[in-house]
Amino acid sequence: MSTPTPPHDPAALHWSPEEFRRHGHAAVDWLADHMAGIADLPVRSRVEPGEVAARLPRSAPAEGEPFDALLQDLDDVVMDGMTHWQHPSFFAYFPANASPPSILADLVSSGLGAQGMLWSTSPAVTEVETVVLDWLVDALGLPDAFRSDGPGGGVIQDTASSATLCALLAARERVLEGAGNRDGAPGGLTVYASAHAHSSLEKAARVAGLGSAALRSVATDADHGMDPVALAAAIDADLAAGLRPVMVMATVGTTSSTAIDPVAAIAEVTSARGVWLHVDGAFGGSATVCPEHRDMITGLDRADSYVMNPHKWLLVGFDCTAFWVRDAAALTGALGILPEYLANAATASGEVIDYRDWHIPLGRRFRSLKLWWVLRTYGIEGLRAHIRAHVAMAQELAGWVAEGDDWELAAPHPLSLVCLRHRRDDDVAARAMEVVNASGSAFLTHTRLDDRYVVRVAIGGWRTSLEDVRRAWDDLVAAARRIEGRTA
């Protein structure tokens, strides 16, 4: 027995353009109200595990619901369970700025709903991306070798983790001359980074078939930057043992403390040994929009690849990672694949970029739109003002810390992250931070440096002011004093 096909009327099933306009306005109004009132909300969510899930029905509705009901449940179901990353007193992890023009660009990108996997599947998606990443090369003071008018170029990826994996795959295939793609990764390949490098490198080593044991953790100096002499010794020892060094990752602005590896000295080591140099500027890379922060990328002209996240500090909403390579052929050689169903005249002409060959997924959104809109809305000068304000607030906070009796600086603060430790007692530091976080007045997270408990104050939210930093600092000091039994 065959099921009868019901008559299908799309107009009866979907919102009309007028309904979309009305609901869209309501959604934007909801967000604008949220922005206006966000400073009064607790920064960190206070829900218990399972609390949000318990407010949801056990199954999807059989019949469609009106849009009003969906918006209402943002307030009734969701908001208690949100930690507010856009809150002016969010100082945890690193910022994830979603500026207003970026939000609207994401809306438009979703609405256009195009897949930009090939140039031919939406030429504007590819060409805006190429041009805007070239703009960013200039805006950030990056080497010309990363521009698209030579053998190099840039691509937008979802995260720095993915970009670092792609760098490792390109480096692996360069060493193996393509044999890794054919036969799988052989044993004996090695990767190098400082002990403070981001965990995404170890994950990349696993995914690329090298394994965690391939990762060499290079010693650091007193400021937690990589020691290039130790790096050279580690590579030479592996070479002498018959191993094959694939890639070195230097970090400009580590996640723990924004330590800056000496890129130029590291590039000397990698160039002399023919090892791929990848530089991770995921957070710190935004700062080089200001000329006064470009010292940290001296030597980048000898790197093979570079990644930074406009979705952290540069006002572009998650996700938007910018990744550049000096030799695009090394990247597409590792990742390019052309099945018959994607073959087309533009690809065959060799005159266009097909970004699907520059990253892991096939499908890709119009992510350059939000980068383009942010660059145009703020201008380079606006972005500089944004970065400089946070760096200045961090220096101010560092001054307050150094003047006080209870806390001290735990690391240099070249950018906008300040690392503090309690002068007497790590346990007091941990408990004081939890008191502040539980109160909802600010949100701070921690790390460990030199085997001490360290509170990180990561300044960088688009609405954060010096008063917000001062309040978080005063709250932390007062909480620690109460825990120690001192009076504030």
Ligand X SMILES: *Cc1c(COP(=O)(O)O)cnc(C)c1O
Which residues contact residue 322 at a Cβ distance below 8 angstroms, ignoring those fewer than 6 apart?
133, 136, 154, 156, 157, 285, 307, 308, 309, 310, 371
Phi, psi dihedral angles at 41 (to 5 degrees): -90, 150
312 vs 386 by CB, closer to ligand X: 312
118 vs 168 by CB, closer to ligand X: 168
295 vs 427 by CB, closer to ligand X: 295
Q: Provide the minimum distance between the beta carbon of 199 and ligand X in the complex, in angstroms, as a whole number.
A: 8
State how far the alpha carbon of 404 is from the alpha carbons of 32, 330, 422, 449, in Å.
39, 52, 11, 20
Q: Which of 240, 216, 241, 213 is closest to 230 using CA atoms?
A: 216
Q: Provide the minimum distance between the beta carbon of 306 and ligand X in the complex, in angstroms, as a whole number.
A: 12
216 vs 422 by CB, closer to ligand X: 216
Q: Provide the minimum distance between the beta carbon of 280 and ligand X in the complex, in angstroms, as a whole number.
A: 5
First to last CA, the chain: 81
Rounded to an integer, what distance in angstroms lies between the CA atom of residue 401 and that of residue 411?
12
How many beta carbons lie within 10 A of that of residue 343, not counting itself?
Answer: 10
Q: Provide the minimum distance between the beta carbon of 197 and ligand X in the complex, in angstroms, as a whole number.
A: 8
121 vs 200 by CB, closer to ligand X: 200
323 vs 366 by CB, closer to ligand X: 323
For residue 126 the two structure tokens come to 């590819």
279 vs 432 by CB, closer to ligand X: 279
Q: Provide the minimum distance between the beta carbon of 192 and ligand X in the complex, in angstroms, as a whole number.
A: 16
Phi, psi dihedral angles at 468 (to 5 degrees): -65, -40
3-state SS class at 138: helix
Q: Provide the minimum distance between the beta carbon of 161 and ligand X in the complex, in angstroms, as a whole number.
A: 3
Phi, psi dihedral angles at 352 (to 5 degrees): -125, 160
Residues near ligand X, by CB under 6 A: 94, 159-161, 198, 200, 251, 253-255, 280, 282-283, 309, 321
Q: Provide the minimum distance between the beta carbon of 318 and ligand X in the complex, in angstroms, as a whole number.
A: 8
3-state SS class at 329: helix
Rounded to an integer, what distance in angstroms lies between the CA atom of residue 272 and that of residue 231?
12
Rounded to an integer, what distance in angstroms lies between the CA atom of residue 209 and that of residue 20?
47
286 vs 332 by CB, closer to ligand X: 286
255 vs 270 by CB, closer to ligand X: 255
State how far the alpha carbon of 175 is from the alpha carbons of 111, 164, 169, 250, 328, in Å.
43, 16, 10, 19, 16
Q: Provide the minimum distance between the beta carbon of 94 and ligand X in the complex, in angstroms, as a whole number.
A: 6
Q: Which of 257, 225, 261 is closest to 411 using CA atoms?
A: 257
Q: Provide the minimum distance between the beta carbon of 96 and ligand X in the complex, in angstroms, as a whole number.
A: 9
| C-alpha triplet 304, 156, 28: angle, nearest 5° | 155
309 vs 416 by CB, closer to ligand X: 309
Which residues contact residue 339 at a Cβ distance below 8 angstroms, ignoring those fewer than 6 apart?
none
Q: Provide the minimum distance between the beta carbon of 255 and ligand X in the complex, in angstroms, as a whole number.
A: 4
